[in-house]
Structure 1
Amino acid sequence: MSPFSTRPLTLADAPAVHAVIAAQELHDIGSVEIEVDDLVGDWQRPSYDLASSSVAVLDGERVVAYAEHLGEERYDAAVDPSYRGRGIGTWLAGWVQDLARSRGVAVLGMPVPEGSAGDRLLTALGYDVRWTSWVLRLPPGAEVAERALPEGYGLREATPADHEQVWAVVEDAFLEWSVRERSSLEDFGAQVWRRPGFEPWHLQVVTDPGGAVVAAANVWNTADPVDTYVAKLAVARGHRERGLAQALLVAAFAAGRARGAVSSSLSTDSRTGALTLYEKVGMRPDSVWVHRAVRLDRARAPRVRPADPG
Structure 2
Amino acid sequence: MSDAGFVTDLCAACELAADGEVGITAEDTISEWSRPSFDPTRDLRLVFESERLIGYAEVHAARKVWAYVHPAYRGRGIGTALVDWTERYARAEGGRLVGQSISENEEDARQLFLSRGYEPMWTSWILETRLDEVLPTPVLPEGMAIRTFDAGRDARAVYRVVEDAFNEWPDRDPTSFEDWAALTILRPDFEPNLLFVVEDGNDIVGTAQCVDDRGTAWVHQLAVKASHRGRGLGRALLQHSFQQAKKRGLTLAGLSTDSRTGALGLYERVGMHIKRTYRHYALTL
The normalised TM-score by structure 1 is: 0.88
Distance in 1 (alpha carbons) for counterparts of 2:246 and 2:41:
39
Q: 1:107 to 1:222 in 2, by over 3 A?
A: same
Residue 98 of structure 2: aligned partner: 108
Letter in 2 for 1:32: V
Matched ranges for 1:56-67 at <5 A: 56-67=46-57
Contact 1:220 1:256 in 2 (8 A): no
Query: Aligned runs of 1:119-268 on 2, under 5 Å?
Result: 119-139=110-130, 141-142=132-133, 145-160=136-151, 161-209=153-201, 211-223=202-214, 226-268=215-257
Give the distance between the partners of 1:77 and 1:126, measured in 2 at CA. Answer: 17
Question: Match of 1:39?
Answer: 29
Shift in alpha-carbon separation, 1:218–1:61, aligned structure 2, 3 A: same
**Contact 1:144/1:282 (<8 A) preserved:** no
Q: Which of 254, 267, 270 does residue 278 from structure 1 map onto?
A: 267
**Which whole-Å CA distance do the structure 1 matches of 2:115 and 2:130 have between them?**
36
Q: How many residues align?
A: 283
Cα distance per residue 1:239-282 (max 9 Å; x no partner): 11222111111121222223332211111111111111111111
* Closer/same/farther in 2, CA of residues 142 and 126 from structure 1, 3 Å limit: farther
Partner of 2:89: 99
Judge which range, 144-153 or 130-139, deviates more: 144-153
Of residues 21, 44, 54, the one that matches 1:54 is 44
CA displacement at 1:92 relative to structure 2: 0.5
Moved more, 82-91 or 165-174: 82-91
* Contact 2:61/2:173 (8 A) holds in 1: no
Root mean square deviation, CA, Å: 1.4
Q: Which runs of 5+ in 1 are unaligned?
A: 1-10, 297-310
Gaps of 5+ in 2: none
Identity %: 40
Contact 2:124 2:256 in 1 (8 A): yes
The Cα offsets for residues 60-111 of structure 1, whole Å up to 9 and x where unpaired, read as 1111110011113211111111111111111100011111111111210010
Aligned with 2:219: secondary structure? strand
2 CA distance for matches of 1:140 and 1:217? 17
* Structure 1 letter corresponding to 2:68: A
| 2:20 aligned partner | 30
